[in-house]
Amino acid sequence: MITIDGNSLAVRDVVRVSREDSGAVLDKKALPVIKKSRAYVDRIIQEGRIVYGINTGVGELSNCRISPEDTEKLQLNLVRSHATSVGEPFTEDVVRGIILLRANALAKGYSGVRPEVIELLLSLLNEKVYPYIPSQGSVGASGDLSPLAHLALVLIGEGECLVGGKRVPSKEVLHEKKITPITLKAKEGLALINGTQVMASIGCLVVAEAELLMKNAQIAGAMSLEALKGTSKAFDEKVHAVRPHPGQMQCADNMRRIVADSAIIASHVNCEKVQDAYTLRCIPQVYGPIMDTVEQAKRVLQIEINSATDNPLIFADQEEVISGGNFHGEPLAFIMDYLGIALSEIGNISERTIDRLVNPNVSGLPPFLSRKSGLHSGFMISQYTAAALVSENKVLAHPASVDSIPTSAGQEDHVSMGSISALHAREILRNIESVLAIEMLSAAQGINFHDLQPGKGTKEAHTVIRKHILPVEDDRVMYTDIEKVRELLVSGEIVDAVERVIGQL
């Protein structure tokens, strides 16, 4: 069970709640500041002061005054009118992350909501109620307005939930779970829909997956190095010490440990080949910066998931309400675009390595990794699939954050498109999982052509693959093999086997 207070949530906590079904509770220590913030909102209404979003319209309509008797109606109307998203719904793990992050942001105590609103969000989470939230409709400022409105609808007993993949009226789901909908008070509707929690939820999951992906990428690269009878000399510690980027040095160390004690590499230490192609030799110089980018994305998300990102913000201690722009998704838009660009480079390296493995002119291996080439095509078309996925990634890697289409009659005249950045990064990562599966499958086939033992780590990876998939002797349907290796990558089975022998990557 995760305890939230608005200040101490970790990316790992988001993954636990999203993927491992951990529940969440509100820290009682957060209640005083939440209640104080709410009390100040009530005081504003009683005093008749004009404050954006509390007794005014929103966006371009911010100059419209709302009468005291209509302040609650305003919040209801905001939620209803903003729920305009379309497309495929977010998966349950993303939705769980959204709910958790919205509750945590409100628990910070600058949003002016009652504790009951936060507790209701956590009830959805803990009772496994999943609002139907379509994935398209956010421009990333004022935050993820439209998809968050779909979440807010469920809190008031409207909208829909997903039950077993089917859309069901939320009122029915709440009734079955014995959850009572809430009547929104002043400021609460706006507080629920203003924020960056959709892009942040996707971002946290992508970062967690990217950390595992990087380990798999290095293992795949090491397997390819051995299959192609490359050298480990380029990973020498002295080389990387004179260009000490953290990721580069870590990656070089990982590569040395993965191929340690390789009889394949030792067998050609004194061969005539002077140096390997860049796809092998420069793995630390390419994968290292990607590892650094993943870490930077994690740092940005760590700040964002413990931030107050709605508008206006209530500073009860100073008796001040400030309209600002913390809802703007630019920090996440930039870093998710950057992460997508960085991850796409794994595919670029991996696909070129696959091509080198299947190309008899450079591999020193049988054509297309088949002893019976001609009658058999072997791994020829697997490289085509990798090329298609890498080409798709080149389109997806175009940064969404460089675009901005003004909204709300020009009042919101610069937006981040951050949710698009996050979705693209996720699609890129999914494609690369399949590309790496093809590389590992090809490299495992290549290693089988050598009679010598591979390195400590590569041997374990090869053993896991061979436990599930036999070498290709005659042409067979390959897509199921690719799918299976991808499952081994995503589940962490290959990484776990390697780390048990050589230590953590």
pLDDT digits (tens, 9 = 90+) for 302-340: 999 999 999 899 999 999 999 889 899 999 999 999 999
Q: Looking at per-residue confidence, does 306 or 57 come out higher?
A: 306
Say yes or no to pLDDT of 291 above 90: yes
Token code pair at residue 493: 């089975």
pLDDT of residue 272: 67
Instruction: Kindly give the interhelix angle for 11-19 and 92-107, rounded to the nearest 10 degrees.
Output: 130
d(CA 200, CA 424): 13
For residue 393, CA distances in Å to 35, 390, 429, 431, 436 come to: 47, 5, 9, 7, 14
Contact 395, 420 (CB under 8 A): no
d(CA 457, CA 280): 17
Residue 47 — φ and ψ, nearest 5°? -85, -10
- Secondary structure (DSSP) of 282-311: THHHHHHHHHHHHHHHHHHHHHHTTS--SS
Q: Looking at per-residue confidence, does 243 or 311 come out higher?
A: 243
- Find tokens 């371009």 and name the residue: 60
Q: What is the mean pLDDT of residues 3-22?
A: 96
Strands 24-26 and 2-4: parallel
d(CA 130, CA 150): 11
pLDDT tens, residue by residue, 67-84: 877 888 889 999 999 999
Q: Which of 197, 140, 105 is nearest to 337 (CA)?
A: 140
Q: Looking at per-residue confidence, does 373 or 154 come out higher?
A: 154
pLDDT of residue 261: 94
Enumerate the H helices of 329-417 as residue ranges.
Answer: 330-358, 360-363, 380-396
Tell me the percentage of the chain whose pLDDT exceeds 90: 85
pLDDT tens, residue by residue, 91-146: 999 999 999 999 999 999 999 999 999 999 999 999 999 999 999 999 988 889 99
End-to-end Cα separation, the chain, in angstroms: 28
d(CA 479, CA 465): 15
Q: Residue 32 carries which side chain, given as an amino acid letter?
A: P
pLDDT of residue 332: 97
- Find tokens 């109307």 and name the residue: 77
CATH numbers and ranges of domains, the chain: 2-195 (1.10.275.10), 202-307+343-502 (1.20.200.10)
Residues identified as active-site: 52
**Which residues lie closer than 8 Å to 85 by C-beta, 6 or more apart?**
133, 134, 135, 136, 137, 138, 146, 147, 149, 150
Q: What's the pTM value of the predicted model, to 2 decimals?
A: 0.95
